């Protein structure tokens, strides 16, 4: 049965599992209210011109390609694995992982090429591409989770995603090769951007997503500055544009505001204090739209 389509709505598909809370938080921070429980497969969305469905992330790229949905969230690894003809329009940076080939610590790549090996992986397309390019003689065993437990009894090599590599080490495995690096992407159906109203809605969402991501990287520093210290302090300020400077009541000095990278704030505040700034406040943004 063909998927139901509601005219005039942009159809979103959200990833089920560990990535869902991060995506739901992004949508909510962007002002698109969405239910926070991924056990509801059709979550309520606050915007009347949006509808959403929650699907396993492995299936999302192909569903976007087929046109069942207009916009979705998926790891670059699963886009590559599906071979899906979709448009990647934004790298969110969520859930960074590496897809690696890993082997028991005592095995070398040279030794593995001398015989037929068993390779365990959830990634059939990615695994075959890597193994063929490196001239391995192999049998591929498709797994459905917990791939790291297969060696050494049931597989000679695994091709799996890792965040830190600690799990591999815990199972006596070492990384033989990094095949690709992946983060969560916003992907759209190839023809979704050809329809003006859909393109406008996608661009509106992307603007809001970028503003939230930028806001998470920045903080506002506000301070009072004596008149004689203004130039010295302003010269030390990193900022998006120029700092905002306003005279204090009674011309007793200046109020200065500046947006800076969050990672700079901890080092910047003590320097500002030494330069004569006082009443220093640090606050967070909700959105930043340059």
Query: Which residue stretches of 6-123 are H helix?
Result: 20-29, 60-66, 76-82, 109-112
Asked if domains 10-93+184-194 and 97-182 share a fold, the reply is: yes
DSSP letter (8 states) at residue 124:
H
Residue 139, strand partner residues: 118
- Nearest C-alpha neighbor of 76 from the set 155, 198, 183, 177: 183
Give pLDDT, residue 238: 80
> What number does CATH give the domain 10-93+184-194?
3.40.190.10
Asked whether residue 3 carries a pLDDT value surpassing 80, the answer given is no
- Per DSSP, the three-state class of 126 is helix
pLDDT tens readout for residues 256-286: 999 999 999 999 999 999 999 999 999 998 8
Give pLDDT, residue 191: 87
pLDDT tens readout for residues 34-55: 987 778 899 999 999 999 999 9
Per domain, the residue ranges of the chain are 10-93+184-194, 97-182, 218-284
8 A C-beta contact, residue 272 and residue 233: yes
> What number does CATH give the domain 218-284?
3.30.70.120
Question: Which sign does the torsion angle of CA 199, 82, 113, 108 carry?
Answer: positive
- Nearest C-alpha neighbor of 94 from the set 19, 157, 17, 11: 19
pTM: 0.85
Q: What backbone torsions phi and psi does residue 135 show, to the nearest 5 degrees?
A: 60, 45
Least confident of 98-102, 164-168, 175-179: 164-168
CATH superfamily of this structure's domain 97-182: Periplasmic binding protein-like II (3.40.190.10)
- Span 202-225, mean pLDDT? 95
- Nearest C-alpha neighbor of 67 from the set 51, 80, 86: 86
- Per DSSP, the three-state class of 205 is helix
């Amino acid at each position: 049965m063909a998927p139901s389509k509601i005219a005039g709505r942009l159809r979103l598909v959200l990833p089920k599992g560990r990535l869902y809370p991060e995506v739901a938080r992004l949508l909510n921070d962007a002002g698109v209210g969405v239910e926070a429980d991924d056990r509801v497969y059709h979550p309520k969305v606050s915007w009347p011109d949006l509808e959403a469905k929650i699907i396993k992330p492995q299936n999302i790229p192909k569903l976007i390609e087929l046109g069942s949905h207009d916009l979705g969230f998926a790891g670059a690894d699963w886009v590559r694995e599906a071979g899906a003809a979709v448009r990647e329009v934004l790298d969110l940076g969520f859930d960074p992982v590496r897809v690696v080939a890993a082997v028991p610590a005592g095995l070398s790549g040279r030794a593995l090429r001398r015989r037929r090996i068993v390779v365990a992986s959830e990634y059939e397309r990615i695994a075959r591409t890597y193994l063929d390019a490196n001239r391995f003689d192999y049998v591929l065993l498709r797994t459905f989770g917990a791939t790291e437990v297969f060696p050494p009894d049931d597989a000679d090599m695994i091709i799996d995603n890792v965040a830190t590599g600690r799990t591999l080490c815990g199972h006596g495995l070492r990384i033989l090769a990094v095949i690709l690096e992946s983060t969560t992407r916003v992907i759209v159906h190839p023809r979704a951007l050809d329809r003006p109203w859909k393109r406008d809605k996608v661009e509106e969402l992307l603007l809001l997503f970028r503003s939230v991501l930028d806001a998470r990287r920045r903080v506002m520093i506000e301070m009072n500055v004596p008149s004689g210290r203004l130039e010295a302090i302003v010269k030390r300020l990193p900022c998006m544009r120029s700092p905002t400077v306003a005279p204090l009541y009674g011309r007793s000095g200046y109020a200065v505001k500046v947006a800076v990278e969050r990672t700079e704030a901890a080092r910047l505040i003590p320097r500002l204090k030494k330069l004569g700034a006082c009443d220093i406040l640090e606050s967070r943004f909700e959105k930043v739209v340059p």
